Amino acid sequence: MLRGIPCTLMRGGTSKGLYFRASDLPVSPSARDRVLLAAMGSPDARQIDGVGGAHPLTSKVAVMGTATRADADIDYLFLQVSVERAEVSDSQNCGNLLAAVGPWAIDQGLIRARDGITSVRIHMVNTGSVALAHVPTPGCRVEYDGDARIDVVPGTAAAIPIEFLDVAGSSCGALFPTGAVVDRVDGLHVTCIDNGMPVVVVHAADLGKSGTESPAALEADDALRQRIERIRLSVAPGMHLGDVAKKTVPKMCLVSPAANGGDINTRTFIPHRVHEAVGVLGAVSVATACMTPGSVAAAITRPGEGGTRRLNIEHPTGFFTVDMDVAVNNGIVVVNRAALLRTARKLMQGEVFVSERTWSGL
Condensed to tens digits (0 to 9), the pLDDT of residues 315-339 reads 999 999 999 999 988 878 899 999 9
3-state secondary structure of 341: strand
pLDDT at 246 over 80: yes
- Of 258-262, 267-271, 302-306, the range with the lowest mean pLDDT is 302-306
Which helix (H) or strand (E) is 228 found in, with range? helix 222-235
pLDDT at 253 over 90: yes
Q: What is the pLDDT of residue 238?
A: 97
Condensed to tens digits (0 to 9), the pLDDT of residues 104-132 reads 999 999 999 999 999 999 999 999 999 99
Condensed to tens digits (0 to 9), the pLDDT of residues 175-198 reads 999 999 999 999 999 999 999 999
- Mean pLDDT for the chain? 96
Q: Do domains 2-159+344-360 and 183-336 have the same CATH topology?
A: yes
Q: What is the pLDDT of residue 303?
A: 62
Q: What is the pLDDT of residue 314?
A: 97
Q: What is the mean pLDDT of residues 2-11?
A: 98
Condensed to tens digits (0 to 9), the pLDDT of residues 21-56 reads 999 999 999 999 999 999 999 999 999 999 999 999
pLDDT at 306 over 90: no
Q: What is the pLDDT of residue 324?
A: 93
What's the DSSP call for residue 275? P
Q: What is the mean pLDDT of residues 336-355?
A: 97
pLDDT at 173 over 70: yes
What are residue 158's phi and psi, to 5 degrees? -65, 140
Residue spans per domain, the chain: 2-159+344-360, 183-336
CATH architecture of 183-336: Roll (3.10)
What are residue 162's phi and psi, to 5 degrees? -130, 135
Condensed to tens digits (0 to 9), the pLDDT of residues 274-292 reads 999 999 999 999 999 999 9
Grade residue 304 by pLDDT with cuts at 50, 70 and 90.
low
Task: Count Cβ neighbours within 10 Å for each residue of 295-311 and write b for 16 or more, e otherwise.
Answer: bbbbbbbebbebeebeb
Task: Count Cβ neighbours within 10 Å for each residue of 325-339 and write b for 16 or more, e otherwise.
Answer: ebeeeeeebebeebb
pLDDT at 248 over 80: yes
Grade residue 343 by pLDDT with cuts at 50, 70 and 90.
very high
Condensed to tens digits (0 to 9), the pLDDT of residues 137-166 reads 999 999 999 999 999 999 999 999 999 988
What's the DSSP call for residue 249? -
Report pTM.
Answer: 0.88
pLDDT at 307 over 90: no
d(CA 344, CA 145): 9
**Percent of the chain surpassing pLDDT 70:** 99
Condensed to tens digits (0 to 9), the pLDDT of residues 48-101 reads 999 999 999 999 999 999 999 999 999 999 999 999 999 999 999 999 999 999
pLDDT at 344 over 70: yes
Domain 2-159+344-360 has CATH 3.10.310.10: yes
Q: What is the mean pLDDT of residues 261-281?
A: 95
Residue type, 312: N
Condensed to tens digits (0 to 9), the pLDDT of residues 201-244 reads 999 999 999 999 999 999 999 999 999 999 999 999 999 999 99
Q: What is the pLDDT of residue 166?
A: 84
Q: What is the pLDDT of residue 197?
A: 96
Taking residue 193's Cβ as centre, other Cβ atoms within 10 Å add up to: 33
Q: What is the mean pLDDT of residues 252-264?
A: 96
CA 63 to chain centre: 15
Q: What is the pLDDT of residue 81?
A: 98
pLDDT at 311 over 90: yes
